[in-house]
């Protein structure tokens, strides 16, 4: 048992959990600030300033996700050797520390192409270390936090980190967004943004290291063959269905993910501040709603919450189709749908993976989930970038080419949303049951200001869900 545990696990359980929650939140805040300032619109803008085209943008977006394929082998070692906390700390220090070299790349003299290639190398190494961190810290927290508390725990962590991440992004956009958008003027500002993100991320490691060690962190007496570790998750039929859904969904999500940033900056003519404010709307809604989605997941099961999120996200490409130069307001609809949808999806996806994974094989199951999903989401922007480059008659894609890609993403989302129906969650309820129960709250006083919405909208939605639940009962029962 760690020497830190007596300080945290006192005779007052409430104080102990409060302390653990503070440490988890502090690390999550630091990690979120680092990822916000070293990714998203800032990474896209930095790459564009170095002369990146559609294919290069796709490759850069794919790196953190495709690197998760390394988790398949890493899980074998971690599952065999244990010591998840040490692996998580090592991965966090390495992945966030490598970002300190990005300001050097931004300020160095030399050909932009050479600096772009060096950026790809640094991001790849950082992503590999981040994969070690993600796999280890998820296993660590799963051992530390009881299952009935995870939904609220993840939701609160996402809310607190999201609010601080939004503030950091807006401040950074004010720094980057300037009248002179030439590469020479922007690169020093990108260097400062990336440097701050790396330093804040490294500060979060202190809070991570202060967490108590898992109760179960032993080394296996006998080595498990690597082949068995890799094959076991895919031989589990229920988990295989979940991984298939996750991979297809990740491919659909990654198809246009990095190009929407380019689309807003170049086709819609938005500034860095405007793009940041719009994406901050999504992050704000995610931060405000994650705790509520987590509570619903703890009560009704994570799968129905995940499915509701998937339905909302699947509508976003249709809203993107309504945008045009001089008509950017549909992006607000996109951000609202994305905020509520991704909030429900993120708080449920990892929790469902934890519920479906056997305790003794959790690292290898989580690795298969993360690796295949990451590989699919990483391959998507590379393929999409190649398609855009092939379709494009000029240096930049046209509106028509972007619209073709948006329609393709909608079709992929539509196919993926049907797959969770065949996933069996132990103790989970159907989406229809969740909607029916929540629909009964329309008579509460809190709903009076929006009674029309409940009476003429939500109630009918709940009745449709009733019909679906009766006609397609597989959603809640094993097949």
Query: Is residue 226 within 8 Å of 48, Cβ to Cβ?
Result: no
Across 114-124, average pLDDT: 90
pLDDT band at 292, cuts 50/70/90? confident
Q: What is the mean pLDDT of residues 66-75?
A: 68
Give the residues across from 327 on adjacent strands: 324
Phi, psi dihedral angles at 98 (to 5 degrees): -65, -25
pTM over 0.85: no
Give the mean pLDDT of 243-261.
Answer: 91
Query: What does the block give as tokens for 85?
Result: 């906390």
Q: What is the pLDDT of residue 476?
A: 41
Range 68-93 average pLDDT: 72
Mean pLDDT computed over 253-262: 90
* Buried/exposed 8-24: b ≥16 CB within 10 Å, e otherwise: bbeeeeeebbebbbebb
The CA distance from 258 to 384, in Å, is: 10
Structure-block tokens of residue 274: 């405007």
Q: What is the per-residue pLDDT for 183?
A: 54
State yes or no: pLDDT of 60 exceeds 90. Answer: no
Q: What share of the chain is helix, strand, coil (3-state, %, to 5)?
A: 80, 0, 20
Which residues sit opposite 324 in a β-bridge? 327
From 35, 343, 287, 333, select the one nearest 172 (Cα to Cα). Answer: 35
Q: How far apart are CA 91 and CA 127, in angstroms?
A: 9
Which residue matches tokens 């393709």?
Answer: 408
Write the DSSP string, 155-198.
HHHHHHHHHHHHHHHHHHHHHH--S---HHHHHHHHHHHHHHHH
Place of tokens 């394929």: 69
Model confidence over 123-153: pLDDT tens digits? Answer: 989 988 888 888 778 777 777 776 666 666 6
DSSP-derived secondary structure for 333-394: HHHHHHHHHHHHHHHHHHHHHHHHS-GGGHHHHHHHHHHHHHHHHHHHHHHHHHHHHHH-SS
pLDDT score of 224 more than 80? no
pLDDT for residue 478:
36
pLDDT for the residue 447:
42
CA 140 to CA 130: how far, in whole Å? 15
| Residue range 361-388, pLDDT digits in tens | 776 787 778 778 878 888 898 899 888 8
Residue 332 has pLDDT above 90, yes or no: yes
What domains can be seen in the chain, in order of their start residue? 5-214+227-429 (1.20.1250.20), 430-479 (no CATH)
Tokens of 469: 């639940």
* Residue 248 contacts residue 420 (beta carbons within 8 Å): no
Question: Is residue 98 pLDDT above 50, yes or no?
Answer: yes
Average pLDDT over residues 456-467: 49
On the CB side of 472, CA atoms within 13 Å amount to: 12
Q: What residue has token string 């999120």?
A: 309
pLDDT at residue 461 above 80?
Answer: no
Q: CA 430, CA 259: separation in Å to the nearest integer? A: 35
Q: What percent of the chain has pLDDT over 90?
A: 19
pLDDT class of 75 with cuts at 50, 70, 90: low
């Amino acid at each position: 048992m760690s020497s830190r545990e007596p300080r945290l696990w006192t005779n007052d359980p409430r104080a102990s959990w409060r302390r653990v929650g503070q440490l988890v939140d502090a690390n999550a805040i630091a990690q979120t600030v680092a990822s916000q300032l070293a990714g998203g619109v800032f990474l896209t803008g930095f790459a564009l300033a170095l002369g990146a085209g559609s294919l290069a943008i796709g490759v850069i977006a794919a790196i953190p996700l495709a690197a998760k394929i390394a988790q398949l082998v890493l899980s074998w070692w971690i599952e065999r050797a244990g010591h998840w906390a040490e692996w998580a700390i090592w991965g966090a220090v390495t992945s966030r520390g490598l970002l300190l070299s990005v300001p050097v790349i931004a300020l160095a003299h030399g050909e932009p192409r050479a600096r772009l290639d060096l950026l790809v190398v640094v991001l790849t190494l950082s992503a590999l270390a981040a994969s070690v961190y993600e796999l280890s810290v998820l296993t660590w927290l799963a051992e530390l936090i009881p299952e009935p508390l995870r939904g609220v725990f993840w939701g609160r962590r996402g809310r607190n980190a999201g609010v601080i991440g939004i503030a950091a992004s807006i401040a950074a956009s004010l720094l980057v967004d300037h009248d002179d958008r030439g590469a020479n003027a922007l690169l020093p500002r990108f260097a400062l943004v990336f440097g701050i993100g790396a330093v804040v991320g490294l500060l979060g490691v202190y809070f991570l290291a202060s967490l108590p060690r898992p109760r179960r962190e032993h080394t296996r007496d006998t080595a498990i063959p690597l082949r068995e570790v890799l094959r076991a998750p895919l031989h589990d039929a229920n988990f295989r269905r979940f991984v298939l859904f996750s991979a297809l969904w990740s491919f659909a999500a990654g198809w246009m993910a990095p190009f929407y940033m380019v689309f807003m900056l170049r086709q819609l003519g938005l500034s860095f501040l405007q793009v940041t404010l719009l994406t901050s709307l999504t992050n704000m809604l995610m931060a405000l709603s994650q705790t509520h989605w987590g509570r619903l997941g703890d009560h009704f099961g994570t799968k129905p919450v995940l499915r509701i999120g998937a339905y909302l996200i699947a509508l976003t490409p249709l809203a993107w189709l309504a945008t045009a130069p001089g008509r950017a307001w549909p992006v607000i609809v996109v951000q609202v749908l994305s905020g509520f949808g991704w909030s429900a999806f993120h708080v449920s996806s990892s929790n469902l993976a934890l519920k479906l994974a056997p305790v003794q094989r959790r690292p290898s199951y989580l690795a298969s989930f993360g690796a295949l999903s990451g590989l699919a989401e990483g391959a998507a922007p590379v393929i999409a970038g190649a398609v855009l480059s092939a379709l494009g008659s000029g240096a930049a894609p046209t509106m028509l080419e972007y619209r073709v890609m948006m329609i393709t993403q909608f079709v992929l989302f539509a196919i993926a949303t049907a797959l969770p129906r065949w996933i069996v969650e132990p103790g989970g309820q159907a989406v229809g049951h969740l909607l029916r129960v929540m629909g009964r709250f329309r008579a509460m006083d809190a709903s009076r200001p929006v009674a029309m919405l409940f009476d003429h909208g939500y109630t009918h939605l709940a009745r449709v869900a009733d019909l679906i639940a009766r006609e397609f009962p597989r959603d809640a029962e094993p097949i």
